[in-house]
Amino acid sequence: MSEATAAATCRRELDLEIPADEVAKKLESVAKEFARVARVPGFRQGKAPVSLIRRRFADDIKGEVVQSLVPERVEKAVSEQKLTPVSQPQVEQLDFTEGQPIKFRAVFEVLPEFDLGTYKELDLEMPAMEITDDDVTKALEETRERAAAFAPVEGRPAENGDFVQLKINGTPEGGGDPIQADSVLCHLGAEETMEPFNENLRGANTGDHKTFDVPYPADYPDAKLAGKTYHYAVEVLGIKNKKLPELNDEFAKDISDVATLDELKTKIRENLEHARDHKHKELLREKVIAALIKLHDFPVPDSLVQHQMDVRLERVVRSLAAQGVDPRAVNVDWVTLRSRQQERASDDVKAELIVDRIATAENIDISDEELNAELEHAATHSGESAAVIHARLTKQGTLDRMKAKLRSDKTLDWLAQNSRIRTVAAAETKSPEAGS
């Protein structure tokens, strides 16, 4: 037996053989089993001679022998060499001549061997993420905008700043799914409003009908519209003005469980700080991952990278579906999009291997209490009890995946605590090299 290993990869090739006497014994036992159940014209079931069975079902018998003996031989060789495949071994160059040993090559990938670099005291830069009075004021104004009421405009045509209520029918040039809505609001002159809407609706009166084309840019946020031209037929149902509520204690009571405007501002600041802390933790983890990847250079199994590329593509599909967009109807080259994920997917796999190795080296693990706390947290968002979630994840076989994610996050937080972090102005920070 020989082993051929390509340099700087995780691919392993084992040239193996199964002794001729072992093959012969298996051929005989399989042939006897075929003879017991096979139906051969001219013979009662189970009475046909084994020699006839071996000639008549030669290919089927050889196939059964290969399926029985080859996996056993691969498993034995892998165990003897203390290898841990991360991909299903593939059989190549199979040579099966009766009376001779079965010879073949088993090809698979294993986890890479690498030495950990100096992962303690990483040098990291983080942006200043202070919550200012301006941030609170901006969030308060956004809350006020959401609480605004719309009042009808009488006696004049639509002008910039108005909200025009429309019944709309849009047909894509070249065919495709139309856009239909019985009542939508179009904010005239707003930054987010496409210019053809502004041009055609400015000066319109209630009851007017308008037709016009809207070419959407290729980078338009809505994937269904991006890069397409829609022909619109619209009816003006009404013209409205947005009336903002006054900022006072009554406003605070109406939109929250606080009694005064000052208490509302305090609550908004607390929410902003909570969101800031979450964002800071996620960014710090990304910075740690980027530093670890830069510190370690080793090959990663292509099978794991391919799997991670699929995972990344599934996230895109789920994101589109969550926005109400049918991924099948989107004009996207999915093959190219998937291939663009390769570098980031490779970094994902590399980071997972490094962090797992560090967790083992530092004896970092997840306790039952930490797992239960995560289940309780998940329960507050799902409406299920922690026990029900635990049972469901166990049945689905994904509980270990949750524990692995918790262990990884705990290790990244430990690494951050043991790093040298310099806070700099946002414009000075360098983007993390690892993709999220």
Where exactly does CATH 1.10.3120.10 map onto the chain?
259-428
CA dihedral 43, 45, 48, 54 (to 10 degrees): 130
Residue 140 Cα distances to 145, 258, 266, angstroms: 9, 14, 11
- Residue 42 in contact with residue 28, Cβ under 8 Å? no
Q: Tokens at residue 202, please?
A: 């400015």
Phi first, then psi: give them for residue 43, nearest 5 degrees: -130, 145
- Residue 281 in contact with residue 306, Cβ under 8 Å? no
Radius of gyration of the chain (CA): 33
Q: What is the third-level CATH fold of 149-243? A: Chitinase A; domain 3 (3.10.50)
- Residue 202 in contact with residue 159, Cβ under 8 Å? yes
d(CA 266, CA 251): 15
Helix, strand, or coil here: 7? coil
d(CA 66, CA 79): 20
Closest CA to 390 of 404, 373, 406, 407: 373
- Residue 308 in contact with residue 345, Cβ under 8 Å? yes
- Residue 365 in contact with residue 407, Cβ under 8 Å? yes
Q: Tokens at residue 368, please?
A: 């039952």
Length of the chain: 436
d(CA 215, CA 262): 46
The confidence score (pLDDT) of residue 3 equals 36
The confidence score (pLDDT) of residue 46 equals 60
Residue 215 Cα distances to 26, 113, 153, angstroms: 70, 54, 30
Whole-prediction pTM? 0.71
Per-residue pLDDT tens listing for the chain (436 residues): 333 333 358 899 999 999 999 988 888 888 778 777 666 666 666 666 766 766 777 788 888 888 889 998 999 999 898 888 988 888 899 888 888 898 999 999 999 989 999 999 999 999 989 999 999 999 999 999 899 898 999 889 999 999 999 999 999 998 778 889 999 999 999 988 999 999 999 999 999 999 999 999 988 888 778 889 999 999 999 999 989 999 999 999 998 999 999 999 999 999 999 999 999 999 999 999 999 999 999 999 999 999 999 988 888 888 888 777 777 777 778 888 888 888 999 999 999 999 999 999 999 999 999 999 998 888 888 888 888 888 988 888 888 889 999 999 999 999 999 999 999 876 555 555 444 3
Q: What is the third-level CATH fold of 259-428? A: Trigger factor, domain 2 (1.10.3120)
Where exactly does CATH 3.10.50.40 map onto the chain?
149-243
DSSP assignment string, 37-104:
H---TTS-TT-S-HHHHHHHTHHHHHHHHHHHHHHHHHHHHHHHTT--BSSPPEEEEEE--TTS-EEE
Where exactly does CATH 3.30.70.1050 map onto the chain?
2-109
Asked if the 2-109 domain carries CATH number 3.40.50.2300, the reply is: no
Closest CA to 1 of 113, 76, 67, 61: 76
